[in-house]
Amino acid sequence: MKMWKHGRSLADEPARQPKWALKELIDRLDGDREFLRELLVIFRQDLRVNLQKSHEAIRKSDYEQLSRAAHTMKGMLRNLSMDVAGETAAALETASRESRGSDSKELLESLEKELEEILPEVEAQLAGVRS
Amino acid sequence: MRILVAEDDALSRTLLERTLQRAGYAVISVENGAQAIAELVKEDAPRLALLDWIMPEVDGVEVCRELRRRKEQAYTYLILLSSRESKEDIVAGLESGADDYLTKPFNVDELKARLRTGLRILELEDHLVEARESMRFQATHDLLTSLWNRGVIVELMTHEIMRSRRERSCTSVMMCDIDHFKAVNDQYGHATGDDVLREVARRLHNSVRSYDMVGRYGGEEFLVALNKCNPGSAISRAENLRNKIAGRPIQTANKPVSVTISIGLALSTEFTECTIEEIMHHADMALYAAKAAGRNCVRVARPSGIGTPTAEQPKETQVLTP
């Protein structure tokens, strides 16, 4: 179970960071796909809740609530090796902590776009593991 | 080994739980800092804890501060989990009392290695506490008999007499000495003499109440202090101690050895104007009188007048004025 592959040379780095390093995640979970499914079920549910909270916080300009929701999403995304979206969530956390309203709004939109690309894969994994 | 995980994010918590269970830990999970404190202050609390930095209401740093504020319990090794990476945050975390920190998402091997470090520290702490307790015992107890040593029994008795004077109760001070102990050593050897000392100590200790005090005062001399003692029953309690020794032989490694003790008794209520040293001196004089009267008997020190044995008092007991 490894989070980072040590000793990998720069030449091996992909030109573009993958949206979801699924293989790395599965390695980290010792190939336990049932556990992966368990985590993805939690992810799907908690992500929805935190996105709702984020929208609500933007509407109310409640940057504290927004930074808390972004913080939670950042943790979930990084834990699931969804690093690109994880970085966007981190930027959203920082922007909201600094009460930067328009930046926060833009970052939340970017985050949702990135998630749109990942969520079908998440659903596919959930369906695949079930069958 | 049990470990506490405090993490409000369900996904991180589940991931941590599973990882730790696979590494052989028994995991107790909670969702916030207040629950973490409640778990960690329990008597049988886990000694290792992984605390998320950011949690609603009471965060990980607060948990560390609160636990370090309470110093009465065994040491808990605290690791903060954070996605923060700035040096200031790390310093603040460690200054709150955390032992270590890990950044999220955690690397499993690193997590396991840091927990092993925690276990080493806890083991070291346990050894130090054990050594301290052992040294504390050795500093306060007589090594041969495990009774209080001379310094401690005199100190405890002093406190007790002061208390009984405040509370107008009575402390009974008894100097007990094994009769002809030198002959035991000469006849059977020092190993048997030690067996006799140990057994006399055990019988004295087992014959008093848990809040009374027994200490080894010198070679074959023991000091017994009975707290909140009814002055009227002090003599019969001294007789009881004497009989516990004289009543049956002591089984030593060699053979059964019969010994007796002489007791000099002084009641604190009889010597209200005396210092502790003077009360002990009176008890000692009564002990000499018991020896002079033929041993295996009790003599009571009185501040005035020479008492004579009453019908209720056993013939071995006489009251004397030092």
pLDDT tens digits for B111-161? 999 999 999 999 999 999 999 999 999 999 999 999 999 999 999 999 999
Mean pLDDT, residues B160-173: 93
Confidence of residue B322 (pLDDT cuts 50, 70, 90): very low
Q: Which residues in chain A have their CB less than 8 angstroms from residue B18's CB?
A: 35
Query: Cβ of B54 and A71 within 8 Å?
Result: yes
| pLDDT(B212) > 90 | yes
DSSP letter string, A13-29: S-SS--S--HHHHHHHT
Round to whole Å and give the CA distance between B81 and B91. Answer: 13
More confident residue, B93 or B73: B93
| pLDDT(B89) > 80 | no
B307 Cβ contact partners less than 8 Å away, ≥ 6 residues apart: B300, B318, B319, B320, B321
Max intra-chain CA distance, chain A: 47
Query: Cβ of A2 and B11 within 8 Å?
Result: no
Kindly state whether B105 is in contact with chain A, defined as any CB-CB distance less than 8 angstroms. Answer: yes
Percent of chain B at pLDDT above 90?
Answer: 78
Query: ipTM of the predicted structure?
Result: 0.81
pLDDT for the residue numbered A17 = 73
Please report which residue ranges of chain A form alpha helices under DSSP H. 22-28, 33-60, 63-79, 83-97, 101-130
Kindly state whether B21 is in contact with chain A, defined as any CB-CB distance less than 8 angstroms. Answer: no
Kindly state whether B109 is in contact with chain A, defined as any CB-CB distance less than 8 angstroms. Answer: yes
Round to whole Å and give the CA distance between A30 and B166. Answer: 71
| pLDDT(A9) > 90 | no
Of B83, B104, B107, the CB nearest to A4: B107
Selected catalytic residue, list B220, B239, B270, B316: B220
Of B9, B10, B109, the CB nearest to A2: B109
At A64-105, the pLDDT tens digits run 999 999 999 999 999 999 999 999 999 999 999 999 999 999
Written as one letter, the residue type at B42 is K
Confidence of residue A131 (pLDDT cuts 50, 70, 90): very low
pLDDT for the residue numbered B57 = 84
Of B57-71, B84-98, B129-143, B258-272, the poorest mean pLDDT is in B84-98
Q: Which residues in chain B have their CB less than 8 angstroms from residue A35's CB?
A: 18
Query: Cβ of B108 and A80 within 8 Å?
Result: no
Please, what sign has the CA dihedral across residues B223, B228, B234, B238?
A: negative
Active site includes B316? no
At A18-66, the pLDDT tens digits run 889 999 999 888 899 999 999 999 999 999 999 999 999 999 999 999 9
Neighbours of B132 (CB within 10 A): 10
**Which chain A residue is nearest to residue B55, measuring alpha carbons?**
A68
Of A49-63, A107-121, B93-107, B171-185, the poorest mean pLDDT is in B93-107
Q: Is the peptide bond before B314 cis (omega within 30 degrees of 0)?
A: no
pLDDT for the residue numbered B231 = 84
At B258-307, the pLDDT tens digits run 999 999 999 999 998 889 999 999 999 999 999 999 999 999 998 864 34
Mean pLDDT, all residues of chain B: 90
Q: Which residues in chain B have their CB less than 8 angstroms from residue A1's CB?
A: 19, 108-109
Query: Cβ of B11 and A39 within 8 Å?
Result: yes
Round to whole Å and give the CA distance between B164 and B154. Answer: 15
Round to whole Å and give the CA distance between B320 and B86. Answer: 82
Question: Highest-confidence range of B53-67, B72-86, B169-183, by mean pLDDT?
Answer: B169-183
The answer to whether A78 touches A86, Cβ cutoff 8 Å, is: yes
